[in-house]
Amino acid sequence: MTTATPVLVRVTKHFEAPPARVFDAWLDPALIERFMFGPHLRDEEIIHVENEPRVGGTFSFLVRRDGAEIDHVGEYLTIVRPRKLAFTWGILGSESSRVTIEIAPAASGCDMTLSHELHPASAKNKDRTKDAWTKMLEALDLALG
């Protein structure tokens, strides 16, 4: 039996903020609401942002978009503050993918690389996924500003 190779989406962004501050934003519900979801990014309402930021802990980011509730869920796989974070990512009831965030100190601030391993069946969503993460990282930069 062969296993299909995931489709990789990669986005890199420089932040003037220190690595720990950028890292912590991914685990702080108040900041997650400011850069991952909400009406400032798309036409949606945040219902809740819940997380248990520990290896094996889970998260649920529930939004209402176009009259439907969409629950973004996952499990934290790796937490190495302030350098690396990995988690599963999916919509409740569907197949999940894997997101890895790597943060490296820079002369000013830090550089972050987000890698999202999509299931091969989701290859058609590669550009849309890259655009969404790019928009969220721009919003993160503003939230940290």
CATH number for the domain that contains residue 65: 3.30.530.20
Q: Is 138 inside a domain boundary?
A: yes
**Domain-embedded: residue 1:** no
Residues 21-41 have a mean pLDDT of 93
Q: What is the residue range of 106's domain?
A: 7-144
This prediction's pTM: 0.93
Q: Please give the residue that has the higher pLDDT: either 4 or 130.
A: 130
Number of structural domains in the chain: 1
CB atoms within 10 A of CB 97: 19
Q: Is residue 17 one of the residues assigned to a domain?
A: yes
What mean pLDDT comes out for the span 48-68? 96
Burial 123-135 (b: 16+ CB within 10 A, else e): eeeeeebeebbee
Q: Is residue 62 domain-resident?
A: yes
Question: Where does the pLDDT of residue 1 fall: very low under 50, low under 70, confident under 90, or very high at 90 and above?
Answer: very low
pLDDT in tens, 69-107: 999 999 999 999 999 999 999 999 888 999 999 999 999
Q: What is the pLDDT of residue 121?
A: 86
Does any domain span residue 86?
A: yes
Report the C-alpha gap between 121 and 134 in whole angstroms: 22
In this model, does residue 2 exceed pLDDT 90?
no
DSSP 122: G
